[in-house]
Amino acid sequence: MAQSNHFIVTVGDFRDATGRYFSLRTPFHKPLNRALARLGASWNKDFKCWLLSYSKENWSQLQTTIAPFGSLEIVSPKPLPKAQLTELNPNQIHLISTYLEMLYAHGYAQKSIDTYVYFISKLIVALHPIHPKDYSLDQIDAYRAKHLFHRSNSSQRQFVSALKLLLTLHDNPILPSTIVRPRKESTLPKVLSTESVLRMISRTRNIKHRLIITLLYSCGIRRGELLQLKLTDLNYERGIIHIREAKWSKERLLPLPQSILPLLEEYLRFFHPTIFLFEGRPAKAYSTTSVANVVKSAAKRAGLKQVITPHMLRHSYATHMLENGVDLRHIQELLGHSKPETTMIYTHVAKRTTLSIESPLDVAVRRAHPTNDTNNIPIHQQSPIPRIAPKINPGSLEEF
């Protein structure tokens, strides 16, 4: 069975009163989900993962089942940061550690675990000494009103997801349906013009910084994917880039742009990275803040007034690809989107789609004056728009 995408299924060790299970967390993919169901795995709607009875036979069959779709990745637990432990008392540390173990047992990705633990730690400290099993809806609402009102809808939605897991873990009687989750924001992506991107690249003198901006735009990769790129992920002979640390643990292959090879060779000749393509310290990946500052400084040198983020270069890549006639399905694969609906948002900002539709007023003016080509005439030199509707006799208004 040939698959266009390589999926990574994270595996946790889940135990409850009914027994021991493999917890399987996967991206949304119907053929993969059907294969897990045929294997005997069941979907747990509370923890949003698949559960498969823990046994050597099931582990062997699981490996065979997943092989056509991708690979398995066993989650490696990490302890709580030492800096965080110094701010907590023993009871709080126990609650947070128990919550952390539960997340690992259910196979959550490390980024999700870090985010959920951050929110829950703040909540546990704020409501101490009340135990999570005794939290009331009023207390939770008061906490959200005081500490989360200024945060984005996305952050508040993450908090609700983290909170529901905490309440379920401690058998709190609050029904999950009574916890209001903010509506997901629907905003259009912010896109730069090709000329603006080229100015950002050309006015960046530092070779490393220039390559960072160039890769973000020319490959449309996420900032996290860029920082996790290793030297071994670049295949010069085949002309591909292997993206391994992608969102939803999904790998993909991207074409290596030929136009960046001279810059890439110059960078490697001067900087000599050892493991990661971009390193802050030897063998340590570059920081996310550093990448954001590189993009922000480049935008300032290019004369751009708005705040430019690394993700805007990804949006620009997708939009410009669509404007150049690349099929939406291909763009979806290049971006690593699981659903085509996610990619379709770029049709709202691409000029070859809805923005290329001519206004009926422009059509009427052009038909009324077919010889007047005003496209290249400055606006202050153009003739007034001709009156399309007939003049109204003021006297006729008396009839109304």
Active site (catalytic) residues: 222, 247, 311, 314, 337, 346
CA atoms in the 13 A half-sphere facing the CB of 360:
1
3-state secondary structure the chain: CCCCCEEEEEEEEEEECCEEEEEEECCCCHHHHHHHHHHCCEEECCCCEEEEECCHHHHHHHHHHHCCCEEEEECCCCCCCHHHHCCCCHHHHHHHHHHHHHHHHCCCCHHHHHHHHHHHHHHHHHHCCCCHHHCCHHHHHHHHHHHCCCCCHHHHHHHHHHHHHHHHHCCCCCCHHHCCCCCCCCCCCCCCCHHHHHHHHHCCCCHHHHHHHHHHHHHCCCHHHHHCCEHHHEECCCCEEEECCCHHHEEEEEECCHHHHHHHHHHHHHHCCCCECCECCCCCECCHHHHHHHHHHHHHHCCCCCCCCHHHHHHHHHHHHHHCCCCHHHHHHHHCCCCHHHHHHHHHCCCCCHHHCCCHHHHHHHHHCCCCCCCCCCHHHCCCCCCCCCCCCHHHHHHC
Residues in the chain: 400
For the beta carbon of residue 104, count every other beta carbon within 10 angstroms. 19
CA distance 333 to 53: 33
Burial class of residue 87 in the structure, from the number of CB atoms within 10 Å of its CB (0-12 exposed, 13-18 middle, 19+ buried): exposed
CA distance 273 to 284: 10
Burial class of residue 51 in the structure, from the number of CB atoms within 10 Å of its CB (0-12 exposed, 13-18 middle, 19+ buried): buried
CA distance 400 to 398: 5
**Cα 287 from chain centre:** 17
